[in-house]
A and B are shown apart, each in its own frame.
Chain A
Amino acid sequence: DTAVSQTPKYLVTQMGNDKSIKCEQNLGHDTMYWYKQDSKKFLKIMFSYNNKELIINETVPNRFSPKSPDKAHLNLHINSLELGDSAVYFCASSVRGPRGTGELFFGEGSRLTVL
Chain B
Amino acid sequence: SQQGEEDPQALSIQEGENATMNCSYKTSINNLQWYRQNSGRGLVHLILIRSNEREKHSGRLRVTLDTSKKSSSLLITASRAADTASYFCATDAGGTSYGKLTFGQGTILTVHP
Contact = CB atoms under 8 A, between A and B. Distances in A.
Interface residues of A, number: 30
B94 interface: yes
For chain B, which range describes its interface: under 10, 10 to 19, 20 to 34, or 35 or more residues? 20 to 34
Contacts of A50: 99
A105 interface: yes
- Where chain A touches its partner, the secondary structure class is strand
Contacts of A34: none
A45 B101 CA distance: 7
A100 B94 contact: yes
A59 interface: no
Contacts, number: 70
Contact of A100 (B30, B44, B88, B102): B30
Nearest to A50: B99
Interface string B1-35: 01000000000000000000000000000110101
B42 A101 contact: no
B48 interface: yes
B98 A100 contact: yes
B70 interface: no
Interface of B: 2, 30-31, 33, 35, 37, 40-45, 48, 50, 86, 88, 90, 92, 94, 98-103, 105-106
